[in-house]
Amino acid sequence: MVADGDQPRVSLLGKPECHLCDDARTVVAEVCAELGVAWEERDLSTDQDALTKWWDKIPVTLVDGEVHNYWRVDPDRLRRALRGRAR
């Protein structure tokens, strides 16, 4: 996930008991570990406004604050996005 002092580049927006979120978490964790990229997971069930906004698209993956995808995470597409936006 996020190391001390690192700003997360990838945010996974999800909720508990969501099988698609579990799948997305696995992909995000593997790709980010491989590339040394910080990431975070946000539980939308604790933020009603965010839950209302994203409910029909959970899980949502953001890269550098921009929507990358929703529902499923393609590992190759995520790698390309992170390599293409290297800091």
Q: CATH number of the domain that 42 lies in?
A: 3.40.30.10
Domain range for 39 = 10-84
Q: How many CA atoms lie within 13 A of 74 on its CB side?
A: 6
Contact 61, 12 (CB under 8 A): yes
40 neighbors 12 (Cβ within 8 angstroms): yes
Cα–Cα dist 66/56, whole Å: 17
> Does residue 36 form part of some domain?
yes
d(CA 75, CA 45): 25
pLDDT digits (tens, 9 = 90+) for 12-70: 999 999 999 999 999 999 999 999 999 999 999 999 999 999 999 999 999 999 999 99
Domain total of the chain:
1
25 domain-assigned: yes
Q: pTM score, two decimals?
A: 0.87
